[in-house]
Chain A
């Protein structure tokens, strides 16, 4: 009996804290999503009205969701390609390895306001990077380039983190596998494809899942660099929710939108859980 009770006694503080800061606010969020709450004052129950509006009437929501999907497609490809390439190269480096790793990881630990502000200046068409190639337009000021420009800035801050994770995973691959590959006459690409990638696959797939979830939570870089503009071109769900909650006084509707993000995250996790059941190493 003691063996059953004592561990739970130790867990009570963290469970209580979790209930207080996660479970209770989340339950409140679910409750408010069924109300017309304006962010202050009393809330009136309106059933599924918020969800009906979100799914069938609100074009802004659909547009924002599509931008989140574009964001996700960018982040499951570009930073992964950067990180896999970078970690493969760095895995072979012995002299100055720590310097390179630190330098590439550094942007990840900088506050987003710092990196976003740096990129705002880098993108300035009067004196920034575009002038180097004779481009005189503002990348953040055009509807067709703004989202990708912000994604690239965010990628610059993010890919070093992925690289370090992959590098750590690569160090767990037994060297004997590489020796065997060499004996079999494998070149660098074949080594990567047949030894390295299978060796780090659980980490890659786990990070794929996380990045897909994070893609629906993006807010800071876009809020700092464009605030959702120009002309709504970078308005993702996070920005739309912020506007609804704090500027339009539609906190109940914003809560419903937040619930939808949780549902997307749940679907992603379920898909990966399904693949795991089918024997994928995740």
Chain B
């Protein structure tokens, strides 16, 4: 009898525990997110957890080792796993995920949280697939010319505002025994696309690039031939690192260090380096007294500031998430101007392309604050072009960076390079794989 009582009590307790566990699971409002297991990943993810205002939602950050988090995540998503909030390199990659049904449609959340008012219009459009929103753009990016301000002042060099002035400056720099610009691309083969993007938009002009990206003008157009030919000439002439072999093989750190000490006068780099130059390569941390600043790369058609626009990554919500509303709430906080400014200031992560009003970046380095201010002004005037990593479809983009080095190495003519790009583009255009291109 005693045994039976104990048995039934045990069973009853077990059932109660199971029911409680089930209830807990049903009410579980945890949102998972992956971050790189490095200083930056740890910084922004802990900031996100610390500043997230809702106590009914738990953010679980998984720090993932390795450098290829996007591929790891893509494999996990394909296997029905992965985090609730997912990210990839940018719109072209998110388009692939959305087309495969791995991303949640965000239209309802865009209305609920009024994201249309918060994002720069072109940036929100980047996340649309067939009219519906699937991803949000992150890390506003452009490529600018950093210069060693101390060396420029010593030599009496002026900031160039036209291409002709830039060529004259390059001659002066070489006469002074310095290399014109860095960096080198031995560690990052795709990074050679920065220069191609800049030359297509700054040289051929953004209107022609827009027409090409929307299928109205072929990439074989003579304006693009002229742009790529000029790019090829300066690369072969040793503008980068002093020689083609160093351009192909040296490391970023090596080039940045030489820029910091003034052996290289300028650095053709992305805005992602804004924080790094001050932190690692100039001033006290680097053991030199030099200072840096930046200017926008000149164009062939205006002396006004002009920038190519792009995003470093895009974020979305996995279609397999059990908590879509909670994940959207986390995204909403992540894409608030306050959080973006804090992340920029504390972690050095470039801010998302939101509309920033007031003195949001008051605590940031004035050179960095000036960039986002002038970028906004240029954007308002339409003085913006296109980065290949944000607006080119995946295969055409691989062609763009993979084959340009063959042009530099004289294995491929400029005309054949652009014909190949046109061929790849036509196929992807026909398959509907072009990311949304902001109208001009």
Contacts and interface: CB of A to CB of B under 8 A. Distances in A.
A203 to B, nearest CB: 36
Interface stretch (B206-214, B241-249, B306-314, B339-347): B241-249
A62 B326 CA distance: 50
Given A38-B96, A231-B411, A141 B248 contact: yes
Interface stretch (B128-136, B167-175, B394-402): B394-402
Contact of A41 (B101, B409, B411): B101
Contacts of B102: 40-41
B353 to A, nearest CB: 24
Contacts of B101: 41
A229 interface: yes
B233 interface: no
A170 interface: no
B74 interface: yes
Nearest to B397: A247
A280 interface: no
A48 to B, nearest CB: 20
Contacts of B244: 141
A220 to B, nearest CB: 13
- Chain A interface size, as a band, is 20 to 34
Given A124-B254, A231-B248, A140 B186 contact: yes
Interface of B: 71, 74, 77-78, 96-97, 99-102, 185-190, 243-251, 254, 394-395, 398, 402, 405-406, 408-409, 411
A138 interface: yes
Contacts of A125: 245-246
A26 B77 CA distance: 20
6 contacts: A39-B78, A39-B96, A126-B254, A143-B411, A225-B186, A230-B245
B238 to A, nearest CB: 12
Nearest to B433: A249
B249 A249 contact: no
Given A40-B77, A41-B100, A141 B409 contact: no
Given A40-B78, A137-B243, A226-B249, A247 B409 contact: no
B77 A141 contact: no
Given A40-B77, A40-B78, A246 B71 contact: yes
Contacts of A194: none
A243 interface: yes
A139 B243 CA distance: 13
Given A41-B99, A141-B244, A247-B394, A230 B402 contact: no
B410 to A, nearest CB: 9
A142 interface: yes
B394 A230 contact: no
A67 to B, nearest CB: 14
Contacts of B395: 248-250
A44 to B, nearest CB: 13
Contacts of A228: 189
Given A39-B74, A138-B246, 7 more contacts: A40-B97, A124-B254, A138-B248, A141-B243, A227-B189, A229-B185, A247-B190
Interface string A26-56: 0000000000001111100000000000000
A141 B244 CA distance: 7
A138 B250 contact: yes
Nearest to A230: B248
A227 B249 CA distance: 10
Nearest to B100: A41
Q: Count chain B CB atoms within 10 A of each CB in A141, A227, A232, A233 and give the residue with the most.
A: A141
B188 A40 contact: no
A157 interface: no
Interface string A214-246: 000000000001111111110000000001001
Contact of A231 (B77, B188, B409): B409
B77 A232 contact: no
Given A124-B254, A230-B405, A248-B398, A40 B74 contact: yes
B409 A243 contact: no
Q: Count chain A CB atoms within 10 A of each CB in B97, B189, B395 and give the residue with the most.
A: B189
Contact of A142 (B189, B245, B254): B245
Nearest to B101: A41
Given A40-B102, A247-B394, A138 B71 contact: no
A143 B405 CA distance: 11
A124 B250 contact: yes
A138 B249 contact: yes
Contacts of A142: 245, 248
Contact of B405 (A123, A124, A232): A232
Nearest to B99: A41
Nearest to B68: A246
B250 A38 contact: no
A53 B306 CA distance: 42
Contacts of B411: 143, 231-232
Contacts of B99: 41
B97 A230 contact: no
A231 B249 contact: no
A137 B245 contact: yes
Interface in A133-152: 137-143, 146
Contacts of A233: 409
Contact of B96 (A120, A225, A249): A249
A124 B184 CA distance: 12
Nearest to A143: B409
A223 to B, nearest CB: 10
A53 to B, nearest CB: 13
A281 to B, nearest CB: 44
Contacts of A249: 96, 394-395
A250 B395 CA distance: 9
B405 A141 contact: no
B337 to A, nearest CB: 33
Contacts of A42: 100
B248 A140 contact: yes
Contact of A141 (B190, B246, B406): B246
A158 B170 CA distance: 45
A230 B249 contact: yes
Contacts of B394: 247-249
B259 to A, nearest CB: 14
A182 to B, nearest CB: 52
Contacts of A247: 190, 394, 398
